[in-house]
């Protein structure tokens, strides 16, 4: 039997789970029986894995674990539609997960890293730096956690957006293993078209994603349409200039036959003028692209403010002249620090303030 006595079952894709069980003498039937118990019945402990052969259950107890994410802190928006969770990992790290309810559907925004190395200046997660990558089970675990909340009220999850803490393409292997678990037809069976991955523009990852058979949606955080303006907001822009990024985006769009969503956080006076919109329109003209414009969600570590409604409308009008469609993405949970990294930063500030000074 394997020597690793702490393997998290949620870290394993179905083929990997089959290989583990095969080493113990159990075949595909037992693999699928366990898989459906984990992802269809949402078994949360070994005691809930009823129906398995006693020998298999004994091996699982001895050599594996079911890594559960614990709620460290949670908050609810005043309108009741947004539920933000700060989840605690086994090593004490915390990550954010946001459940957003819309009419007739529910969406979860999940994290792929504890912190982030990309350093976007207006993002609370970027301001805190990277602690570590999440494992596949820690990524999938967020979806399972939210599913249990929704099932208790008779609701179902439809959309998953990898737009929480971290850069998904910086944690490529673990993120894609998690996606494979989410879309597995015998488990959660989420439709790939209901999964969106957001990247700050990691060019090698975009090209690799284009070459692989994972038909999820791609969203690219742009925020600036010249190298200088983008690098001032998104330091990764210095590593992957716009010409390289746009070449990779065109490659992805043509290879996958898919529209790319470009995210543009509108910051008053910084990137929301007509001139900025013209530059963006020229950059994207002719591409199968859609721009999500998002008025800034202010953070403690950045002095910028959100664009005024009239500036947002004028920005969209310019894009329309270039036949570039755009949507103003609804800001949710502003009253509960629902922006990426904000709740964690707030809780950590509060915790530090309660620690007596050693002076």
Residues 322 and 326: their CA atoms lie apart, in Å, by: 11
Active site residues: 96, 340
Residues 359 and 356: their CA atoms lie apart, in Å, by: 9
DSSP 170: G
Q: Is the dihedral of CA 343, 344, 350, 354 positive or negative?
A: positive
353 CB neighbour count, 10 Å cutoff: 7
Residues 179 and 190: their CA atoms lie apart, in Å, by: 9
- What is the b/e burial string over 80-102, where b = at least 16 CB atoms within 10 angstroms of the residue's CB? ebbbbbbbebeeebbbbbbbbbe
Residue whose C-alpha is closest to residue 146's, from 105, 201, 107 = 107
Residues 273 and 226: their CA atoms lie apart, in Å, by: 14
**Do 307 and 272 meet the contact criterion of CB atoms below 8 Å apart?**
yes
**Do 111 and 96 meet the contact criterion of CB atoms below 8 Å apart?**
yes
Calculate Rg over the CA atoms of the chain: 22
**Do 130 and 117 meet the contact criterion of CB atoms below 8 Å apart?**
yes
- Residues near 110 by beta carbon (within 8 Å), at least 6 away in sequence: 97, 139, 142, 143, 160, 161, 162, 164
Residues 52 and 17: their CA atoms lie apart, in Å, by: 15
- Which residues are annotated as part of the binding site for S-adenosyl-L-methionine? 166-167, 198, 221-223, 297
- Which residues are annotated as part of the binding site? 116, 120, 123, 166-167, 198, 221-223, 297
Cα→Cα distances 19→15, 58, 188, Å? 6, 17, 20
**Do 72 and 343 meet the contact criterion of CB atoms below 8 Å apart?**
no
């Amino acid at each position: 039997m394997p020597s690793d006595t702490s393997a998290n079952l949620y870290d394993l894709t179905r083929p990997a789970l089959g290989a583990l069980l095969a080493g113990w003498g159990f075949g595909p039937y037992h693999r699928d029986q366990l898989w459906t118990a984990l992802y269809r019945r949402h078994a949360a402990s070994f005691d809930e894995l009823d129906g398995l052969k006693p020998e298999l259950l004994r091996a699982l107890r001895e050599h594996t674990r079911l890594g559960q994410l614990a709620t460290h802190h949670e908050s609810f928006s005043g309108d009741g539609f947004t539920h933000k969770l700060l989840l605690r990992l086994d090593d004490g790290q915390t990550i954010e997960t946001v459940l957003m309810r819309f009419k007739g559907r529910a969406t979860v925004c999940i994290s792929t890293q504890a912190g982030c190395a990309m350093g976007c200046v207006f993002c609370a997660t970027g301001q805190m730096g990277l602690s570590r990558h999440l494992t596949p089970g820690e990524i999938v675990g967020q979806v399972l956690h939210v599913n249990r909340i929704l099932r208790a009220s008779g609701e179902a999850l439809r959309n998953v957006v990898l737009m929480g803490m971290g850069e998904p393409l910086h944690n490529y292997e673990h993120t894609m293993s998690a996606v494979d678990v989410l879309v597995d037809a015998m488990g959660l069976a989420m439709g790939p078209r209901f999964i969106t991955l957001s990247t700050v523009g990691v060019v090698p990852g975009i090209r690799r994603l284009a070459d692989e058979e994972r038909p999820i949606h791609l969203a690219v955080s742009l925020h600036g349409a010249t190298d200088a303006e983008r690098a001032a907001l998104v330091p990764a822009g210095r590593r992957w200039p716009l010409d390289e990024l746009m070449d990779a985006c065109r490659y992805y769009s043509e290879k996958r036959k898919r529209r790319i969503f470009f995210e543009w956080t509108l910051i008053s006076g910084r990137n929301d003028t007509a001139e900025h919109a013209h530059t963006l329109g020229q950059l994207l003209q002719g591409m199968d692209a859609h721009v999500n414009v998002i008025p800034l969600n202010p953070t403690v570590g950045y002095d910028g403010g959100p664009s005024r409604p009239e500036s947002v409308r004028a920005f969209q009008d310019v894009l329309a002249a270039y036949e570039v469609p755009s949507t103003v993405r609804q800001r949710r949970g502003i009253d509960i620090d629902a922006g990426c990294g904000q709740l964690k930063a707030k809780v950590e500030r509060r915790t530090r303030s309660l620690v007596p000074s050693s002076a």
